[in-house]
Structure 1
């Protein structure tokens, strides 16, 4: 049984990590969050100690080590994007491996510093890249790998996940903290595309506002038109009529990739691989971080070239946005 701590216990994604720790028959000894709405701990680890101050959290872990000989093996990180880098460093300094949500850092050069810390501490940084474990994605990679080596696939990626006004007040609406739309909701898709289709060759941004981003990516084996948005108004009418607020579509050579199911236990599978020293490390995460960093720092060219059809949808400013 391994000992875990978790940072970001009140967040949306924390329950998946709690479930993964429990389902792999390990133990959570401490959790940290500045907010105390963490009753979810009762469903998984009611005996875990909880802290709202990082100093007292760190002190508790140190006392467990030196007074009770309790070693910490992993720290799971479920915090806002801009804090991942700092919390990874905290984990390594505490003598634990870090298991971190995407992105590991907002800037590619931060990965180089983290890599040095890995070397100096002897600890590992693991990234949660759960789409790589989805059965449909694995099958697609096998299909691409078996295709003629000079085959370049044409892909349309559309991900619309509606968010309310709260989004713009939260850290997610602040590009300096979230990295913007492409980073916050797109980085896992860009990682998946990198994993399947190889090195990036071209990165063009057509549209980038507070509520959407769209562009063109060319990989070694794929040409990708992509569109991401958090605006309910851009959803297809057929989705709205069903009362749904999310639309996800990937078409490859005009054929829809079906992967609407199978997400439930992917974090648990990620943890199983990490515990077997077979998880996704820092280098696997690098290209997706480079892609979203470039998107964030590229001036959109407008509706020119090979753009996604949704890029033509009407733009609407939002009064609460921090991005325009």
Structure 2
């Protein structure tokens, strides 16, 4: 396979602004063959913009009539599993946008199907590809932080409720900031911790701001049909004894417009990831280390590059279905705990 034939499922912003341009700018040979969306006019418009030859109103029809090697799944969360599974069964490698799915059972079936079909399945956790994460990973693998026993995860916006798409529709998305932006920082923490198995999860969600009209740094949102949380708070204990605390918010009364941060604490050192800073005790003093230079990169582009390379050369994606399943378990457990008022044990 010298050229990767790609189909796009979903013609919204993440497809037209991120996936398609990234495929076209890939260091490898990619041909975007087709695009499908239930709003076929939207798919036609994107196809015209990028000269995509085939347009469909159904991804099932697309998979049946066009020969593809890989697909990007860029539809609302509710449809991630069914679209990904259909594509895998049609013989395609799959890059599915985060989160993996709506339920643990769906994520399990996605992983099982990928294994049975012998195809690549990976998820759109593009923060993984940023140099801060790579550098921190190198420190950790060199033993500079020792055993990481605690992590803090923040994905908090002051007034960053999306006024577009279906991000505030629980039925289509499964939740709000936790399942949208919180999963990115949760993934980074778990990746750097070695993706430990969760043991007990406790969660709480709040809806205090989004259901009322107010100031939006991302423009107006549909407050009358706002069905997701403003904020989610969670604590996770892992089977290896480590702990993680998480806060994710679309809207919170805090100083900064947005904070996307992961903090790690080990018995030999600690780290903040964005921006990267290492904390250690050395030579009878306390040391803070900051890189003098961190290159600026496009995480989405690197994600697409790696997916294409894995498809063409048979390599294992950086983000695996097994890791996606752990993410799904934790996210769903936080929501379940918030609903029941009880800790969720695995």
TM-score of the aligned structures, taking structure 2 as reference length: 0.70
1:73 Cα deviation from its structure 2 partner:
0.3
Shift of 1:263: 7.4
Structure 1 residue runs of 5 or longer lacking an equivalent are 65-70, 240-244, 303-324
Q: Deviations over 1:191-233 (max 9, x none)?
A: 22111113134422244442111122344475433211111x5
In the alignment, what sits opposite 1:85? 81
Report the Cα offset of residue 268 of structure 1: 2.4
* Structure 1 residue 290, shift from structure 2 partner: 0.8
Structure 1 match to 2:24: 22
Q: 1:18 deviation in Å?
A: 0.7
Q: Provide the secondary structure at the position in 1 that maps to 2:201.
A: strand
Q: For residue 212 of structure 1, what is the aligned residue in structure 2?
A: 231
The structure with more helix, counted as a fraction of residues: 1
Distance 1:263 1:85, change over 3 A: farther
Residues 194 and 287 of structure 1 are in contact (CA less than 8 Å); yes or no, is this contact kept in structure 2?
Answer: no
Matched, 1:290 2:302: no
Unaligned 5+ residue runs, structure 2? Answer: 208-228, 277-293, 342-346
Number of aligned residue pairs: 282
1:246 is matched with which residue: 245, 258, 267?
A: 258
| Rounded Cα–Cα distance in structure 2 between residues aligned with 1:177 and 1:59 | 22
Please tell me whether the aligned partners of residues 5 and 30 of structure 1 are also in contact (alpha carbons under 8 angstroms). yes
Q: Tell me the distance in 2 between the aligned counterparts of 1:7 and 1:263.
A: 29
CA RMSD of aligned residues (A): 3.0
* Secondary structure class of the residue paired with 1:278: coil
Please give the alpha-carbon distance, in whole angstroms, between the structure 2 residues aligned to 1:61 and 1:206. Answer: 41
Where do 1:147-158 residues align within 5 Å? Answer: 147=143, 151-158=147-154
Match of 2:288 in 1: none
**Do 1:179 and 1:296's aligned partners in 2 also have CA atoms closer than 8 Å?**
no
Partner in structure 1 of residue 282 of structure 2: none
Question: Alpha-carbon deviation of 1:283?
Answer: 1.2
> Which whole-Å CA distance do the structure 2 matches of 1:214 and 1:85 have between them?
26
Q: Secondary structure at the match of 1:234?
A: coil
Paired with 2:119 and 2:340, the residues of 1 have a C-alpha distance of: 43
Q: Which residue of 2 aligns with 1:10?
A: 12
CA distance in 1 between counterparts of 2:304 and 2:5 reads 13
Q: Look up the SS of the partner of 1:171 in the other structure.
A: coil
Name 1:267's counterpart in structure 2: 300
**Equivalent residue of 2:338, what SS?**
coil
TM norm structure 1: 0.75
Is the aligned partner of 1:172 residue 2:184?
no
d(CA) in 1 for partners of 2:241, 2:11: 39
The 3-state SS of whatever aligns with 2:337 is: coil
Evaluate the alpha carbon distance shift between residue 204 and residue 145 of structure 1 in structure 2; reply closer, same or farther with a 3 A threshold: farther
Residue 273 to residue 87, structure 1, CA distance change in 2 (3 Å)? same
Q: Who is 1:138 aligned against?
A: 134
The runs of 4+ residues in structure 1 deviating greater than 6 Å are: 260-263
- Change in Cα spacing, 1:301 to 1:101, as seen in structure 2 (3 Å) is same
